[in-house]
Amino acid sequence: MASEKITACCEALIEKNLTIAFAESASAGKMCYEFSTVFNSGRVLIGGIVCYHSSMKEDLLQIPWGTIEQHSAESAEVTKLMAQNFYRYVNSDICVGLTGLTTPGGSESDSKPVGTIFIHIIFGEKQIAKRYEFKGTPENIINQAIDVVADLILREI
């Protein structure tokens, strides 16, 4: 069941006749799913793509070879390219890219601990890029990130 923030975001999107699409890594499709559970979500949700492994990011989202090696799969640079490249292929008013670290075993470090999430949102010509550090279980981290996305969109529209 969608949180209050997701529900409010979807209702605002419906009211303003705006559509949304998602390019997800760390959230593995949960963001798209959460938005899909809101009444009348079919009026706003275009869909999404899950590119969890680096090869999917490079092959499907055309992240230039070497970019992930240079910045890591969980980085602001890769998140931005995910959102921008997916936005080119979908007919949507808003496109959200999300990557990050929900469990150990990725590119975590002292400066980028588990719980670090990168979000990049495109609203036509305007783009918003954010970095957050959340605490909790992997599911808690993802749920917090999805609520932040909904809140950022609500503030913008």
CATH of domain 4-156: 3.90.950.20
SS3 100: strand
pLDDT at 1 over 80: no
**pLDDT tens-digit readout, 90-106:** 999 999 999 999 998 87
> CA 16 to CA 14: how far, in whole Å?
5
- Closest CA relative to residue 26, chosen from 96, 98, 83, 87: 98
**pLDDT tens-digit readout, 6-47:** 999 999 999 999 999 999 999 999 999 999 999 999 999 999
User: Which neighbouring-strand residues pair with 112?
Assistant: none
By the 8 A CB rule, do 134 and 108 touch? no
Cβ-Cβ contacts under 8 Å for 33 (sequence gap 6 or more): none
Per-residue confidence (pLDDT) for residue 84, from 0 to 100: 96
**pLDDT tens-digit readout, 102-141:** 998 878 888 899 999 999 999 989 999 999 999 999 999 9
> CA 95 to CA 97: how far, in whole Å?
7
Per-residue confidence (pLDDT) for residue 120, from 0 to 100: 98
Per-residue confidence (pLDDT) for residue 133, from 0 to 100: 97
